[in-house]
Amino acid sequence: MTSGYPDWLRAFLLLGKHDSDYLPVLLGPDGSMYAVLQGEYAGALKTVKLDDQGRLSAFVVDSSDAWNQMLQIGNAELAARLGSIFRLDRRGTVMLLEGFEDGSNRWGFAQNGPNGAHSITPSKAFSGGYSLRLTAPNDPAEWIYAFMSIPACAATSFGMSVMVRTSTIYDNVLIGFHTYDGTSVHYLNARLHYPTSKVHVKNALGNWQESADYTIDIGANASFHMLKIVANISTDHWVRLLYDNQEYDISAVGVYTLPDVSIPRLYVYIYLLGATGGTNAIAEIDDVIVTAEI
């Protein structure tokens, strides 16, 4: 026959260590244990909070990105990005991922001169096995472009990034999107301007404004380079511009906006303009990403 107290009646003292001291963990009036979960950040303790249903709110966090900024990403966004297109800058919620692995059927194409062409090529790609090759007409006043319309969302800040490779001399590579909100159209345009080695964005007056320097290699062994733009259409100002591993604050530059009552949407495009000298400019485009930004 056993003796003593049953297990469920045994009392014990739970201690926790604080610095060099052991302190008792206290209970509330109903016998529940209450605690504050904290973690150290930048030499200070930060409290981990709960949401309105008592669930632990947390982010999967890398220590920093390529620009030394802390990243945060929810589980759904993490699942969407696993195994997806590689990118140095992972800020924003993905609206479009395009690596051209399934062809170019989702895109439309237009040109205003002869001798332009577009194709999916396996000869050069940044990720996967294919990229989009644009060949511009052989006149600097002519162009070819790819475009896509995607549904609008409730966000007010948007970003677009592409990987660009140029094997021939060109005058301009333009990327961007027109954001229609039902009352206005916001022109979020940027260009790589080869003659001046500058990255330009279109300002509030509709003019090209120098925003960054860049160097880009030309030829058979040319590399892919990343260009990303972010703008806020609620304030009609640009936010930032990224070229490879350099980030530029362009928040002082306004966005060109005009009245327009078209159906809300994002009209995404990539232009390649013809080069001076009567040659056909060629560019490979890969890893097009459109995001709703923070």
Over residues 80-106, the pLDDT tens digits come to: 666 566 566 777 888 888 999 999 999
Q: Cα(269)–Cα(166) distance, rounded to whole angstroms?
A: 17
pLDDT tier for residue 294 given thresholds of 50, 70 and 90: low
pLDDT at position 232? 95
Is residue 39 within a helix (H) or strand (E), and if so which, with residue range?
Answer: strand 38-41
Q: Which residues contact 192 (CB under 8 A, 6 or more apart)?
A: 164, 172, 173, 199, 214, 216, 227
- For residue 190, give the nearest of 94, 138, 255 by alpha carbon: 255
Q: Model pTM?
A: 0.72
Q: What percent of the chain has pLDDT over 70?
A: 84
Q: Who has greater pLDDT, 235 or 15?
A: 235
Q: Are 95 and 102 in contact (CB under 8 A)?
A: no
* Residue range 109-161, pLDDT digits in tens: 999 888 889 999 998 999 889 999 999 988 888 899 999 999 988 888 999 99
Strands 117-121 and 131-135: antiparallel
pLDDT tier for residue 65 given thresholds of 50, 70 and 90: low
Burial bucket for residue 80 (CB in 10 Å: 0-12, 13-18, 19+): middle
Is pLDDT of 165 > 70? yes
Across residues 190-217, what is the average pLDDT? Answer: 91
According to DSSP, residue 268 is labeled: E
Cα diameter, the chain: 104
pLDDT at position 276? 76
Structural class in CATH, domain 89-292: mainly beta
Q: Who has greater pLDDT, 65 or 169?
A: 169
- For residue 272, give the nearest of 263, 264, 281 by alpha carbon: 281
Is pLDDT of 272 > 60? yes
Q: Who has greater pLDDT, 162 or 9?
A: 162
The tokens of 276 are what?
A: 């001076």
pLDDT at position 18? 74
* Lowest mean pLDDT segment, chosen from 39-43, 117-121, 169-173, 286-290: 39-43
What is the residue extent of each domain of the chain? 89-292
Instruction: Please state, as a whole number, how many other Cβ atoms lie within 10 Å of the Cβ of residue 109.
Output: 14
The tokens of 154 are what?
A: 């409730």
